[in-house]
Amino acid sequence: MRCPFCSNEETQVKDSRPTEDGTAIRRRRYCPDCSGRFTTFERVQLRELMVLKKSGRRVPFDRDKLMRSIQVALRKRPVDPERVERMVSGIVRRLESLGESEIKSETVGKLVMEALKMLDDVAYVRFASVYKNFREAKDFEELLGELSGEDDNGETGDN
């Protein structure tokens, strides 16, 4: 494993243990060149997933890309990184358990939207604005209305 600080290829594993949820192996590593310490995670991949984009292109599923897009939505939000990791692992498990080797990008987006809605409202709105390609303020208003439980008439569902 390459050192993220000095790019040395000869790093050493100092500790290995499973993560709390058991979906990965956490390894503490040390670089003898720069004395840097860092953590890596190894995950078992149940099947090779391909994502079918709206354009028709097929690309390999990339867990790191999924994590980055979620982290952008969660930027500066008070959410524990462990919860984010568990959320991403849950999404990946759900995708793998669909039994399909090819998954539509819309399916991935919907799973992320569901998970973010339960985790953080602001991140949910941020992600939705990109995922649903918002063009004007009205798009935000409609989503916020859904989030607060209003129907199309501006009335809450509690009446």
Q: Are residues 34 and 110 in the same domain?
A: no
Q: Are residues 52 and 79 in the same domain?
A: yes
* Predicted pLDDT of residue 157: 46
Banded pLDDT at 28 (limits 50, 70, 90) = very high
Q: Is residue 159 part of a domain?
A: no
* Residues present in the chain in total: 159
Crossing angle of helices 63-73 and 81-97, in 10° steps, is 140
Q: Are residues 71 and 141 in the same domain?
A: yes
Rounded to two decimals, the pTM is 0.64
Structure tokens of 141? 């208003």
Q: Are residues 40 and 54 in the same domain?
A: no
CA–CA separation, 92 and 76 (whole Å): 24
Domain extent, residue 140, equals: 46-148
Say how far residue 19 (Cα) sits from the centre of its chain.
17
38-73 pLDDT tens trace: 999 887 666 689 999 989 999 999 999 999 999 999
Q: Is residue 157 part of a domain?
A: no
Q: Is residue 156 part of a domain?
A: no
136-159 pLDDT tens trace: 777 777 777 777 775 444 444 444
